[in-house]
Structure 1
Amino acid sequence: MKKHNYLYLSALSVSLFMGSCTKDFLQRDPESIISASNFFSNESQVKQAVNGAYNSVLQMGLADYWIFGEMRSDNTTFHYNNTNRGLEQRELMEQFVSQATDEPLSTFWQRLYTGIDRANEVLDHIGTVNMPDANKNQYTGEMKFLRAFHYFTLVRQWGGVPLRTTSTQTTDQTKSKGRASVDDIYTQIIADLTDAASKLPKKYTGADVGRATEGAARTMLAEVYLTRKKTTEALTELRKVEAIGYQLLPSYAAIFDPANKNNAESIFEIQYLGSDPQLSSTFMYQFAPWTSGSAVTKDPKTTSNPGGWNIPTQDLIDAYDSTDLRKNISIGTDFISMNPSDPLKGKMIPYIKKYNHAPADIGRTNDNFPVYRYADVLLMIAECLNESGDQASSLTYLNQVHAHSRTGLLPLAVIDQATLRDLIFKERQVELAFENHRWYDLVRSGKAVAVMNANGAREKLLKPTQPYPIGSYNVNPNKLLLLIPQKEVTLDNLAQNPQ
């Protein structure tokens, strides 16, 4: 298995920003903290700090991204566990009845800003370090990509948020200037991604494979432009990504196979390493029905019930055409819960198969998590062309995904703009299922309120014996934005989002 250097974030390397020290530093004047000003002295230390900045993405990939990117959408829900209510606040996020004091909100916010501060730390100091310009450009591009990645998540989930473009060095710098406007946040994101795309390489070799590339920066920039309804600008970036040379794989299952990481279709993946307990993924266990034991994971060492999170909805299952080969690769429908404690006893509980692969060890898998891949690019091109009025060309790109050999589906015929728009979003739903795009697609399409209210009504109808909090699945436009964590509202004097 190829190893990726930037994943090796030992306690020592991460703690360089947390107040620990090394033997070399202990031989100097006694200090308990290694500050940024005396850490960034050579390229090796810069690279170590760059590697550490990726850690926030790795951590959020294990929970935050899919809690707020899939479970808040009509793609997935949760398997209600009446024997363990310890993570009930995750359920409240999915049911649109969360409170500003709920832990998932504050954890998500803190991790995003930790990632931003780590990127800012490198950007603040890299200019003074002597190293080849090509390497300095690469590290700068990576940090601007990551900072944009975090702010793109923040602005879509919370709207205007504090804008920090320099690192926090002292306690008096922790207080922000308040919430920046949505326009200001997007201006910063676009500037960061534009610069990152000009500095990052198109590809890496060896241990550096998996880092952010020009293609990743331009793909995110295109999605930013689409979110801002700037289809011409989006198409310009997508054409540049198209020219890089990514390819659709003939096998849909192969895209997600841990033995085939960072393949020809992959543009950016969150990198995990199953052989290391600190760097492994856990999706197979998190996404299995909680009553399934080892039946779904096929891991005989499973000693406790799996998570029951990110469970496919009937809405998503019904979205697949009957001959779509992706359905059986993405969703398992072979588990029936017979646990007497389960309100759904005797019923089939679907689960995500896309990340269901043999574990490296108990509770530890080697699956990466896809963020951007070429199928997404082709569907965004189709969307841009359709919005420009070129339905024939749009359909050509849609059919590259829809009628690809891995789907078993017939090509779609030329149709009107509105119908084609719906088909493109449906194709995105099934092609990119469980890859954390659905919630954002619903919001930018303007359909989130109607779709989620209808989805909630069906969930209640399908699970009448499950308790539901008052107001659950009662979605209005205000609820498309998350509540700002109460601690941030209080300590930073931030205006709260209305609900």
Structure 2
Amino acid sequence: MKAFKHTTVLAFLLLLTSCDQFLDVQPKASISDQQTIVDKASSETALNGAYDSFRSYYSVNLQSIGYLSGDNIQWTGSQSQVQEFINHRVNAENPTVSSVWTGIYSMLNRANHVLDKVPAVQDPSLSEAQRNKIIGEAYFLRAFAYFDLARIWGGAPIITKPTLTPQDNRGIARSSQEEVYAQALADLNAAEPLLAETTDRFRATRKTVWALKSRFYLYQKDYVKAAEYADKIIADAGNYQLVKPYNAFFANDARGTTESVFEIFYNINETNSHRGQWQPQEKGGTRQWAPNDAFVALANDPKVGGNRSALVAKDNQGRWYGNLYYRSPATDPTFVIRIAELYLIRAEARAQTGNLTGALADLNAVRERAGIAKLTAANKAALLLAIENERRIEFALEPDRWFDLVRTGRATQVLNITDESKLLLPVPAEQLLIDKALKQNPGY
């Protein structure tokens, strides 16, 4: 498969970039907006800029929210602001929270420019199919951003037009979490017919839309549709399969295997900063993220982790470290959606709708790949707990655990959180100062 490779964003695309303040961009007077997206080449460059911005916001900071807020990973560094996620006492001044918020809105602005300008581009070399592809991919990226906004903060401002001046989108109050999720679904619905039913593990296609829809409907507890869209990917066995053993999708410099539905591409010129956070000092990293004792025990238990023990290793000081990101230079992909997730989404959806036999089959497909014994018949409650536990190990070094526990209502019990307001993060304090229309989440 042809991997997405970052195209340097030309100077005229500076207008598409959000600055440090909320949706703050270069004033329109500095560059004529009518010249930013005018032909096929600039349309494609603008879309590549949106992908680059997606890669930026989805990288270390968003990942650390998912890792550290769960119960698999410890922080070994000294910054107290990072420890806030593990303690579930995140302050509105937390720089990680601010970075993710501004990063998401930067990406939204880039996608909005594509969606605003590309439909009107007059260029004979831009075919209708190519135009639809560009627009469809921009809708997909925007959908992903709104999905993340909803699950991290609940309500958020919905912005669907480009920001041209620092004042353009100020004064817009936060929409509800339900409305933000609805915007994500609307964008997925818009993307679906515009994209071809092809396989590309680095760019959005109709299949990528189906995969994200399956995840979306699981969060919405619409289990029938969650299973329906998972079916579409799992049934495409010629392109999507659980690779064996578990580490075959990442070991030996693997990328773009049949395990992958959507992953982020890196190369020697644009490296993945995950690697340095996970690897120990002897391998040139900082090991600031590390598997905690509880997860190490699970991963190394042959009856639980099986061959997923490949996720952890020991350094020369006898300390455990995560080994999903290991390449030197750090060209490791970031895995966004894997076929294993679709199996476990369908397992959960089937269990919730009473199809325990089908749920067990999907769960056991993942367990069998991990080299552990299949489960036998169980009641609904036991099966759902088994699926939860399987997701914990399967995606331990991917940012799922925290969001899984929140969406299932299990976070307070499993993580001993006594204040349910902490299940959403605070709106960054700097955003509240910039825009008085924004209101803080309760409890902060």
What is the TM-score when the length of structure 2 is the normalising length?
0.90
Tell me the equivalent position of 1:352.
322
Q: Which residue of 1 aligns with 2:55?
A: 58
Q: Decide whether aligned partners of structure 1 residues 349 and 14 sit closer, same or farther in structure 2, where only a CA change above 3 A counts.
A: farther
Q: Deviations over 1:27-72 (max 9, x none)?
A: xxxx984333222111111000000001122223431122111111
**Is 1:293 aligned to residue 288 of structure 2?**
no
TM-aligned CA distance change 1:451 to 1:9, over 3 Å? farther
Check the 8 A contact 1:17/1:34 in 2, yes or no.
Answer: no
- Matches of 1:415 and 1:35 in 2, distance apart? 64
| Structure 1 counterpart SS, 2:65 | helix
Pick from 400, 403, 406: which aligns with 2:365?
A: 400
Matches within 5 A, 1:255-274: 255-257=249-251, 259-273=253-267
The one-letter code of the counterpart of 2:193 is S
Percent identity between the aligned chains? 29
Question: Which residue of 74, 98, 101 corresponds with 1:106?
Answer: 98
Q: Is the 8 A contact 2:17 2:110 kept in 1?
A: no
Q: 1:96 touches 1:475 (CA, 8 Å); kept in 2?
A: no
Match of 2:24 in 1: none
What letter is aligned with 2:234?
A: E
Following TM superposition, by how much is the alpha carbon of 1:231 offset from its aligned partner in structure 2, in angstroms? Answer: 0.5
Return the match for 1:42 from 39, 44, 55.
39
Are the structure 2 counterparts of residues 72 and 132 from structure 1 closer, same or farther at C-alpha, using a change threshold of 3 Å? same
Q: Is the 8 A contact 2:84 2:90 kept in 1?
A: yes
Instruction: Measure the CA separation in 2 of the matches of 1:93 and 1:11.
Output: 37
1:65-107, Cα deviation, whole Å (9 max, x unpaired):
221111111121211x4xxx4x431222332222212211111
Q: How far 1:317 moved relative to its partner?
A: 2.5
Corresponding residue to 1:483 among 409, 416, 426: 426
Larger Rg: 1
Aligned to 1:381: 346
Which residue of the partner structure matches residue 329 of structure 1?
Answer: 310
8 A Cα contact 1:178 1:492, kept in partner? no
Pick aligned residue for 2:380 from 417, 426, 440? 417
1:201 equivalenced with 2:196 (yes/no): yes
Q: 2:337 maps to what in 1?
A: 372
Shift of 1:219: 1.2
Q: Does 1:124 align with 2:123?
A: no
Structure 1 pair 18–57 and aligned structure 2 pair: CA distance change class (3 A): closer
1:10 Cα offset (Å)? 5.1
- 1:197 corresponds to which letter in structure 2? E
Q: How far 1:191 moved relative to its partner?
A: 1.1
> Structure 2 CA distance, aligned partners of 1:293 and 1:307?
5
Deviation readout 1:242-296 (Å, 9 max, x if unpaired): 23331111222120137321111110001111x20xx1113232113xxx421xx
Determine the structure 1 residue equivalent to 2:409.
Answer: 446
Contact map agreement 1:258 1:366 (CA 8 A) in 2? no
Deviating more after overlay: 68-77 vs 5-14: 5-14
Q: Which residue of 2 aligns with 1:464?
A: none
* Shift in Å, 1:174: 2.9
Contact 1:386 1:394 in 2 (8 A): yes
For residues 477 and 104 of structure 1, the distance between their equivalents in structure 2, rounded to whole angstroms, comes to: 21
**Post-superposition CA distance 1:453-496 (Å, at most 9, x none):** 2xxxxxxxxxxxxxxxxxxxx54210011110111112222111
Confirm whether residue 133 of structure 1 aligns to residue 125 of structure 2: no
Provide the rounded CA distance (Å) in 2 between the counterparts of 1:51 and 1:204. Answer: 18
Aligned pair in 2 of structure 1 residues 18, 184: CA closer, same or farther (>3 Å)?
closer
CA distance in 2, matches of 1:142, 1:413: 42
Q: Which amino acid aligns with 2:92?
A: A
- Given the superposition, is the C-alpha separation of residues 90 and 143 from structure 1 closer, same or farther in structure 2, using an over 3 Å criterion? same
Count matched residues.
Answer: 426
Distance of 2:101 and 2:93 partners within structure 1: 12
CA contact (8 A) 1:196 1:214 kept: yes
Q: Aligned residue for 1:254?
A: 248
Structure 2's unaligned 5+ residue stretches are 19-27
Q: Give the letter aligned to residue 71 of structure 1.
A: L
Which residue does the alignment assign to 2:6? 7
Give the deviation of 1:326 after TM superposition.
Answer: 3.1
Contact 1:452–1:475 (CA<8 Å) still a contact in 2? no
Higher mean displacement: 58-67 or 413-422: 58-67
Equivalents in 1 of 2:31, 2:258: separation in Å? 41
CA contact (8 A) 1:162 1:180 kept: yes
Gap change, CA 1:102 and 1:170, over 3 Å in 2: same
Q: CA deviation at 1:3?
A: 6.9
TM-score, normalised relative to structure 1? 0.81
Question: Hey, what does 1:71 align to over in structure 2?
Answer: 68
Task: Determine the structure 2 residue equivalent to 1:465.
Answer: none
Partner deviation per Cα, 1:408-433 (whole Å, 9 max, x = no partner): 21211111000000011111111111
Taking structure 1 as reference, are residues 398 and 154 closer, same or farther at Cα in structure 2, changes over 3 Å only? same
Q: Who is 1:318 aligned against?
A: 297
Q: How many Å separate the matches in 2 of 1:18 and 1:217?
A: 25
CA 1:18–1:62 in 2, change beyond 3 Å: closer, same or farther?
closer
Give distance in 2, aligned partners of 1:3 and 1:385.
35
1:93 partner SS: helix
The structure-2 alpha-carbon separation of the partners of 1:242 and 1:5, relative to structure 1 and needing over 3 Å to count, comes to closer
Cα distance in structure 1, aligned partners of 2:288 and 2:29: 41
Secondary structure, counterpart of 2:374 in structure 1: coil
Distance 1:90 1:411, change over 3 A: same
Letter in 2 for 1:293: Q
Q: Structure 1 pair 430/144, CA: closer, same or farther in 2 (3 Å)?
A: same
CA RMSD of aligned residues (A): 2.2
Is the partner of 1:222 in helix, strand or coil? Answer: helix
SS at match of 2:88: coil
Change in Cα spacing, 1:450 to 1:336, as seen in structure 2 (3 Å) is farther
- Structure 1 distance, partners of 2:212, 2:134, is 18
